Structure 1
Amino acid sequence: MNTKQLSKRLEYIGYQSWMPKEVEQFGNWYLRFNGGVTRRANSVLPIGPPKESNMENAINHVVNFYKERDTPVLFQMTQYSVPNALDNTLEKQGFAKRFPVYVQTGRISDISQRDQSIETEILGAPTDEWMKAYELGSGYKTESMMIRRSLMIRSSLPKAFGTASINDKLVAVGLGVQSDEWCGLFNIATIPKHRRSGAGTAVSYRLLSWAQTLGASKAYLQVETENYPALTLYQQLGFESLYEYWYRIRE
């Protein structure tokens, strides 16, 4: 599988792992809406030809979809988005390029093992304590937590909620979602005063070990290109960037 094919596969798996409350499938464009919480869940994923062959009409359909929901128009783009001319067309229409993200991958067998001194656990659902640690570690607003929790649990794919504790205190959390040979890592967050303790590494590895028991052999994650602490963590784990995605937004 070449990079183009793999990127489309991972974009689709990522979409299935982070399901918004509303999706309109417009050919092979997926119009996602989730009340404005998270860009991925409130943007178009154009991984194949749209239902409308005229690109201008297809873009207008998207604009109307989000206008009806009083939400900014966002396209989640890669160099392989369809049609090929979509990104240039959006730029000409005034859609700015924002929020670049690396998609990184690695073989689970090659990923560095965790510090055995940090206690880790797998949960079937996010508890209140898990969500509080995620809120503190991520810095997201308290009022968005219930919507974020719904995003985490809505997918029908197998998923696990990992924790890492130091001195019996929960200090890091993360979400793993398994799809065939792939495990996606999401929402890895460490409480600020425990960063650089190895807790984020420990919870990541525990989630990958969980996915391995279900048959996963490879892992992927999405990380903003300027999130240097996270990039350092994932580099230490053994992840490498495969491709990049970004958003086109009309400002």
Structure 2
Amino acid sequence: MAAAFDPRSVPEALRDARDALAAQAEDAGLNATHVREQALVDGWLVRFANSRAKRARCVNAIGDGRMPIDERIERAAALLAAAGLPLTFRITPFSQPQGLDAALAERGFVAFEESRVMYRTLEVGTAPASALPLHEVGPREFADKAGRLYGDAPERIAVDVERAVSFAGTGIRLLMGERDAPVAAGCVLLDGSMAGLYGVHTQAEMRGRGYAATLIEMLLQRAQNAGARYACLQVGAGNAVARALYQRLGFSDCYAYWYRAREIE
């Protein structure tokens, strides 16, 4: 279970909404997790899909709105409850209205699961050769096989297959190893000049062999060839192993986000 934390511990630089690249990365992340099960509630994008991505089953407060905050909270809670999901808010530097995080804290919502969005500029380079076969696949096959690699339940995989197929932009999706039973998977989804890196995962018993780094470099090179100039990703703030890998690959922190709920998920 995730632990509660105090958002005041997040460096001020990672809570700044003025960075244009940070805003572009935030848009790319929301576009990548578009789902059918969503509704607008006075400027809040409420998503209630049974998806692996938590951004697809929470409140993304993207607009200021006009109605009282308690009314908005009540309406958002009803949508999520009808889908059997807890009322969870995703708090970013761009959350509206200003002061939303403090308002939720006053109402008993606990902060948890701090994450960092990291980004880098893409530069011309040569990706390393892969020791295992690489297969570029379509969205349906990727979501299905990657979901099984993650260990997701069939009903969650079905939701993510639908989400992947409905993505309107360009995606590059790689499976590493045997196509029917990959040892690693990852994809990039292009959003303008930004390439979002998602779903990178390696079988537990195959970690520490450099497969993830090779897969990421392959994806970034293909994204640049497709016209991307920047890359971004999301990672848990406490995931030291993954963060160290991403830093070695040239990524640095761009901004932080976290979740708030009355009970930690």
Task: Check whether TM > 0.5.
Answer: yes
Cα distance in 1 between the residues matched to 2:135 and 2:258: 33
Query: 1:161, 1:174 within 8 Å by CA — same for their partners in 2?
Result: yes
Q: CA deviation at 1:134?
A: 4.8
Q: Equivalent residue of 1:34, what SS?
A: coil
- Relative distance call for 1:7 and 1:72 in structure 2 (3 A) is same
Q: 1:21 to 1:2 in 2, by over 3 A?
A: closer
Does the 8 A contact of 2:25 with 2:196 survive in 1? no
Cα offsets for 1:92-126 (capped at 9, x unmatched): 1111111111100011217x854314343322334
State the Cα distance separating 1:67 from its structure 2 match. Answer: 2.7
Partner Cα separation in structure 2 for residue 38 and residue 56 of structure 1 = 26
Structure 1 248/191 Cα, relative in aligned 2: closer, same or farther at 3 Å? same
- Report the equivalent of 2:11: none
Structure 1 position 215 matched with structure 2 position 227: yes
> What secondary structure does 1:109 align onto?
coil
Is the Cα–Cα contact under 8 Å of residues 97 and 246 in structure 1 kept in the other structure?
A: yes
Native 8 Å contact 1:122 1:207 kept in 2: no
- 2:31 is matched with which residue? 16
Deviation at residue 3 of structure 1 after TM alignment = 4.1
Residues 1:135 and 2:171 aligned together = no
Residue 34 of structure 1 aligns with an amino acid whose one-letter code is A
**Secondary structure of the corresponding residue to residue 173 of structure 1:** strand
Measure how far apart 1:141 and its partner are. Answer: 3.9
**Counterpart-to-counterpart distance in 2, 1:92 and 1:207:** 43
Write out aligned runs for 1:89-238 (5 A).
89-109=103-123, 114-118=127-131, 119-127=133-141, 131-132=144-145, 134-136=147-149, 138-165=150-177, 170-238=182-250
> What secondary structure does 1:49 align onto?
coil
CA change 1:8–1:62 in 2 (3 A) is: farther
Query: How far did residue 37 of structure 1 move?
Result: 4.5
Superposition RMSD on alpha carbons, in Å? Answer: 2.6
Q: Pick the aligned partner of 1:44 from 50, 59, 65.
A: 59
**Amino acid of the structure 2 residue aligned with 1:23:** Q
* TM-score of the two chains, using structure 1 as the length reference: 0.86
- CA distance in structure 1 between the aligned counterparts of 2:218 and 2:246, rounded to whole angstroms: 14
The verdict on how the C-alpha distance between 1:21 and 1:158 changes in structure 2, with shifts beyond 3 A counting, is same
Cα 1:170–1:99 shift into 2, 3 Å: same
Moved more, 28-37 or 77-86: 28-37
Given that residues 133 and 171 in structure 1 are in contact (C-alpha distance below 8 angstroms), is that contact kept between their aligned partners in structure 2? no
CA gap of 1:5–1:49, structure 2 versus 1, over 3 A, is: farther
Partners of 2:126 and 2:221 within 8 A in 1: no
Which position in structure 2 is the counterpart of 1:243?
A: 255
Task: Name the one with the larger strand percent.
Answer: 1
CA-CA distance at 1:217 after TM superposition:
0.8
Q: What is the total number of aligned residue pairs between the two structures?
A: 246
| 1:179 Cα deviation after fit | 0.8
The AA in structure 1 aligned to 2:59 is V
2-side partners of 1:199 and 1:10: how far apart?
25
Amino acid of the structure 2 residue aligned with 1:104: M
TM norm structure 2: 0.82
Structure 1 counterpart SS, 2:139: coil
Give 5+ residue unaligned stretches, structure 2: 1-15
